[in-house]
A = this chain, B = another copy of it.
Amino acid sequence: MSVKERKDRERAARERLIVAAARELAEQQGWDAVTTRQLAERIEYSQPVLYSHFRGKREIIGAVALEGAAELAAAVRAATAGVDGPRERVAALARAYLDFAERNPAVYDAIFQLDGGLAYAQEDTPEPLKDAFAALMETLSEVAGNGIDPGLFTELFWASLHGLATLTRTGRLLDEYAEPRVELLVDRLAMV
């Protein structure tokens, strides 16, 4: 059985290699440049190999999305962990979220813009996605306010962050307002 185990290990390693290559290529040249041919060349295999790991390009995007969601959750938790006071925690969360989106635009797109064939807001939603939402809710439910469902509040706050992230990155908002926008968002939405 040791042979099979070794092969499984090698397969898993190659799968990680594919996801890493897709992510790197997407961040470097955008998702349009992530073609099966480019990807195959980067991992030094032929294109059909990709299809022995994933059903198609969509699933590769989905894999990058799951990896990214886990990182986003970790980033949010790390940013809010040592912060005193609910208001400051929320502000730290907002900055960490927007910072992640800015530093990893392609990954952010994979999670929230592109079709990775993943289910959202359902029972069969993959764990990393649920956990990323949970990471937001941990800090945000403190400031939802009286009688407001924490899930509802988190959805709204998240949507605002998402709007800021996407509109900022596509150049649809003024750069100089970036920081005041976050301040205003936190001041108005969070009940401290």
Contacts and interface: CB of A to CB of B under 8 A. Distances in A.
B163 A184 contact: no
A172 interface: yes
Contact of A181 (B121, B159, B163, B171): B159
Given A155-B181, A162-B166, A163-B161, A171 B121 contact: yes
Contacts of A172: 112, 120-121
Contacts of A159: 160, 163-164, 167, 173, 181
Among A120, A155, A177, A189, max chain B CB count under 10 A is at A155
B184 A152 contact: yes
19 contacts: A112-B167, A120-B170, A120-B172, A121-B172, A151-B174, A152-B177, A152-B180, A152-B181, A153-B184, A155-B177, A156-B164, A156-B181, A156-B185, A158-B163, A159-B181, A160-B160, A163-B166, A188-B188, A189-B189
